[in-house]
Structure 1
């Protein structure tokens, strides 16, 4: 059991470090990605008429041109060295589809993070939103999973994220093997659940506490977007703790009854 958990943790860290484009690839709407790339080249050439032609008419107002000019100012005139899709989400209804795409642009002396939201109804594809943000470096370099120069809280939560699931699994095995008065299945559910989730942003060291939340097996690892920071969460294994206390009493009571 312990070996299986350690193997699972290794797989998680391997996935965190593997080629993110490969992971995202099957979920990317290629037609909309190509449309977006072509559309964003219009900002480099200051083709504001072309830009406005594809914007949802409901969003057009007297401030639109000014906002577009401000965004265009972020784009260098030279050809980007690389364009990566780092975020993709599709929302579908019976009437329309919405695509939320995020690109990382690498220019010779600049990095940009560009988010574009597309609205598709029938064959018509319109732009619902655009956001351009300069980056100091690539997202891979900004959000690496590294152990260098991290706050003590990062290491503490990482250690707990390994220890707590092992403790819960130990309690689960003991629960299955321990004779109990009644409703063992409720204890199993209680043991598997942990409460009060604490999450650390591995990049920034920021900590978020959610008192009214629970976490299966007491720990979780995931990334914000395909190249975002790693988030590690732990929660208090209340069920496992209470079971271990109760188990001692049950075993003591059983021995006394046998005597």
Structure 2
């Protein structure tokens, strides 16, 4: 129980750290500027946005694109606004910051992002996107066993089995007395080879042959992102379990008569 509490606390801390990282990548001033441009778009103040566009974006099609984006957004103040993504790229002459928010208006959800180009002399809009979502990111990326494919269930089952084999072999190895080069066996057992993973939201499967992982299984869920379940071949654990009888027999004392 104590281990579960520690693991859950670490998970919460990891989530908090991810949110704090987003806040550092896109500072409060970056977020405020991005929100102001989204508010201008919602209110139809397209001239304001056009005046702030980077020269590389100014073309005859811009007005039509802005009008289409403005028509998507509902009227009135949003129900909620969450920072869900941030990127910052630093170049010799300018910095590019992309800030992504999840906007909610009642039962409608939108992903809105604004890319700002900041130089020593000016700040311009380098990109602006509005996308209607079926539901919130939290609902989209929620871990559930319903409606998944056979490959998703197979990889999840394989990850659980690989972890259990590794844990069983590791405990058995640690408890076995007198085994030669035990530390090498322990390292061999806890390392899995190859990596088969699946995006739990989309079902996309990927495989890496030249990869190693601890305990032959893993899961990862970035903040507001999909879960990834992965498994590796527990080669060391399997070899140890197959050879443990032989290893034990070499440790038995030999009796001599006469």
Using structure 2 for the length normalisation, give the TM-score. Answer: 0.76
Report the counterpart of residue 80 of structure 1 in structure 2.
78
Report how far residue 173 of structure 1 moved: 4.2
Q: Secondary structure, in 3 states, of the residue corresponding to 2:144? A: coil
Q: Distance in 2 between matches of 1:222 and 1:108?
A: 30
Which secondary structure state, in structure 2, belongs to the residue aligned with residue 66 of structure 1?
Answer: helix
Change beyond 3 A, Cα 1:162–1:97: farther
- Residues 196-224 of structure 1, C-alpha deviations (whole Å, 9 max, x = no match): 32223333444333333332222222224
Q: Structure 1 residue aligned with 2:169, among 165, 171, 179?
A: 171
- Match of 1:98, SS? strand
Residue 235 of structure 2 corresponds to residue 238 of structure 1: yes
RMSD: 3.6
Secondary structure in 1 aligned to 2:83? Answer: strand
Radius of gyration: which is bigger?
2
| C-alpha spacing 1:7/1:167, structure 2 compared with 1 (3 Å) | farther
Report the equivalent of 2:22. 27
Determine the C-alpha separation between the residues in 1 that align with 2:16 and 2:44: 30
Instruction: Note if contact 1:33-1:101 (Cα within 8 Å) is conserved in structure 2.
Output: yes
Query: Are 2:138 and 1:140 equivalent residues in the alignment?
Result: yes
Q: Distance in 1 between matches of 2:209 and 2:221?
A: 22
Aligned equivalents of 2:16 and 2:124: distance in 1? Answer: 26
Asked whether the 8 Å contact 1:21–1:86 carries over to 2, the reply is: no
Deviation of the 1:31 alpha carbon: 0.9
Cα distance in structure 1, aligned partners of 2:2 and 2:76: 52
2:147, 2:84 → 1: CA distance? 26
The aligned length equals 252
1:99 aligns with 2:97: yes
Distance 1:38 1:236, change over 3 A: same
**2:117 maps to what in 1?**
119
Which residue of the partner structure matches residue 61 of structure 2?
Answer: 63
Segments of 5+ residues of structure 1 without an aligned counterpart are none
8 A Cα contact 2:113 2:130, kept in partner: yes
Distance 2:211 2:187 in 1: 15
Distance in 2, matches of 1:87 and 1:211, equals 31
Change (3 A) 1:200 1:168: same
Q: 1:172 to 1:121 in 2, by over 3 A?
A: farther
Decide whether aligned partners of structure 1 residues 52 and 215 sit closer, same or farther in structure 2, where only a CA change above 3 A counts. Answer: farther
Cα deviation for residue 166 of structure 1 reads 4.0
Flag structure 2 segments of 5+ consecutive residues without an equivalent. Answer: none
Q: In 1, distance between residues paired with 2:6 and 2:150?
A: 24
Which shifted more, 152-161 or 121-130?
Answer: 152-161
